[in-house]
């Protein structure tokens, strides 16, 4: 059975059983109809996914992995902050009239910095280090740039990656300050697993462990019945996921280079409202 399902159910059991409710507290997010979007939350969750064993796709319901990978390529490869470069509508509520989400995500990853080995952005610095100094303990990115926070549509949630090489394996820690469990937990896990696989392949390494460190992991009030239904569902074995082995440069990957086979999953749970 897919380990991603077990971890998801364990996290949800902990949040619903022992979490703190923000009901009647002052909260920022709201629903489309203007009502405050309260949550039940747990602080400090650590989940480990071993990509050498299986790819962590949820099977309780389908994760739209194509749209998730399209978004991670939008941020890390296109380094774009404009929704016109994205093939889904998930960021529409946070974009301005020109389609920009401000100085967030892709914008930050495209900013050049003067490193000792040359002027380059954070993504190219990771790729450079994986190739030239794989045993460096400084292979990381951080897009939580305080200087630019006021100019972001939404402050980055998944904000830092730390890469680490062990033998022929590439491991990573994803730091995330805030996690919408239903809309984006498996979505984010799939994205950063895919990123780890791409970086490993172009660096001559195999994908190892993704360690997902989540500060505030929450379930929104209007998501609770959907989460409760998912927790009762049948689980299936994890699908087989591989990358087109021909791709040698990170900048050449497309969604079509991900091959997902035998993805068995439960039926959709209906429209998931997203708190704004
Ligand atoms: N409240 C909130 N939750 C989020 O997950 C989130 C934000 N805000 N703001 C910015 C981005 C946008 N992201 C999103 C937004 C929507 C979906 C979403 O609609 N998910 C659907 C599946 C989408 C599909 O299948 O195409 C779902 O059913 O969960 C996912 C990620 C993640 N982020
Ligand atoms: O990749 C993402 C992006 C966003 N989220 C969620 C987490 C929160 O529910 C909201 C952001 O609200 P804040 O008040 O700024 O924390 O978006 C996510 O889970 N994953």
- Residue by residue, DSSP assigns 5-66 as HHHHHHHHHHHHHH-EE-TTS--S-B-TTS-B--EEEEEEEEEEEETTT------SS---HH
Residue 180 annotated as binding? yes
Stretch (H or E) spanning 169: strand 169-180
Question: Which pairing describes strands 113-115 and 118-120: parallel, antiparallel, or unpaired?
Answer: antiparallel
Residue 270, domain member (yes or no):
no
Q: Residue 192 CA: which ligand is closest?
A: 2
Residue 268, domain member (yes or no):
no
> What does the block give as tokens for 261?
């086979």
- Residue by residue, DSSP assigns 92-125 as GGG--TTSB-BSSTHHHHT--EEETTEEE-HHHH
- What pLDDT, on a 0 to 100 scale, did the predictor assign at position 101? 96
Nearest residue (by CA) to ligand 2, atom 13, is 178
Residue 267, domain member (yes or no):
no
Domain that holds residue 70: 3-179+191-261
Distance CA 82, CA 85 (A): 6
Residue 167, domain member (yes or no):
yes
Q: Residue 217 CA: which ligand is closest?
A: 2
Q: How many domains does the chain have?
A: 1
Q: Please state the atom number of ligand 2 nearest to the C-alpha of residue 155.
A: 15
Q: Which residues line ligand 2 (CB under 6 A)?
A: 28-29, 154-155, 157-158, 178-180, 184, 188
Residue 273, domain member (yes or no):
no
Residue 89, domain member (yes or no):
yes
> What does the block give as tokens for 77?
């490869």
Residue 1 banded pLDDT, cuts 50, 70, 90: confident
Q: How far, rounded to the nearest angstrom, does the alpha carbon of residue 86 sit from its chain's CA centroid?
A: 16
- What pLDDT, on a 0 to 100 scale, did the predictor assign at position 148? 98
CATH code, domain carrying 209: 3.30.572.10
Q: Please state the atom number of ligand 2 nearest to the C-alpha of residue 28.
A: 14
Residue 223, domain member (yes or no):
yes
Q: What is the pLDDT of residues 79-93, one digit of tens each?
A: 999 999 999 999 999
**ipTM exceeding 0.85, yes/no:** yes
Residue 269, domain member (yes or no):
no
Give, in order, the Cα–Cα distances in Å from 119 to each of 56, 80, 114, 123, 132. Answer: 35, 19, 4, 12, 15
What mean pLDDT, rounded, does the chain reach? 98
Distance CA 267, CA 74 (A): 28
Rounded to an integer, the average pLDDT of 61-70 is: 98
């Amino acid at each position: 059975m897919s380990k991603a399902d077990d971890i998801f159910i364990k996290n949800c059991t902990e949040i619903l059983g022992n979490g703190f409710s923000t009901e009647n507290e002052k909260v920022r997010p709201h629903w489309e109809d203007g009502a405050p979007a309260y949550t039940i939350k747990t602080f400090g969750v650590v989940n480990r996914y071993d990509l050498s064993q299986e790819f962590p796709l949820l099977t309780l319901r389908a994760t739209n992995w194509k749209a998730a990978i399209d978004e991670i390529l939008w941020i890390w490869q296109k380094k774009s902050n404009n929704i016109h470069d994205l093939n889904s509508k998930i960021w529409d509520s946070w974009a301005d009239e020109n389609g920009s989400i401000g100085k967030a995500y892709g914008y930050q990853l495209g900013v050049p910095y003067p490193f000792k080995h040359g002027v380059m952005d954070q993504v190219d610095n990771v790729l450079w280090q994986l190739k030239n100094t794989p045993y460096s303990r400084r292979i990381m990115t951080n897009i939580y740039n305080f200087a630019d926070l006021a100019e972001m549509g939404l402050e980055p949630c998944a904000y830092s990656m730390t890469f680490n090489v062990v033998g022929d394996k590439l491991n990573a820690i994803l730091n995330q300050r805030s996690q919408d469990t239903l809309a984006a937990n498996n979505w984010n896990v799939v994205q950063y697993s895919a990123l780890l696989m791409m970086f490993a392949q172009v660096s001559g390494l195999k994908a190892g462990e993704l360690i997902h460190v989540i500060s505030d992991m929450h379930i929104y009030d209007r998501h609770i019945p959907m989460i409760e239904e998912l927790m009762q569902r049948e689980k299936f074995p994890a699908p087989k996921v591989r990358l087109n082995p021909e791709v040698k440069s990170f900048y050449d990957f497309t969604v079509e280079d991900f091959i997902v086979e035998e993805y068995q999953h439960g039926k959709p749970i209906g429209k998931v409202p997203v708190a704004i």
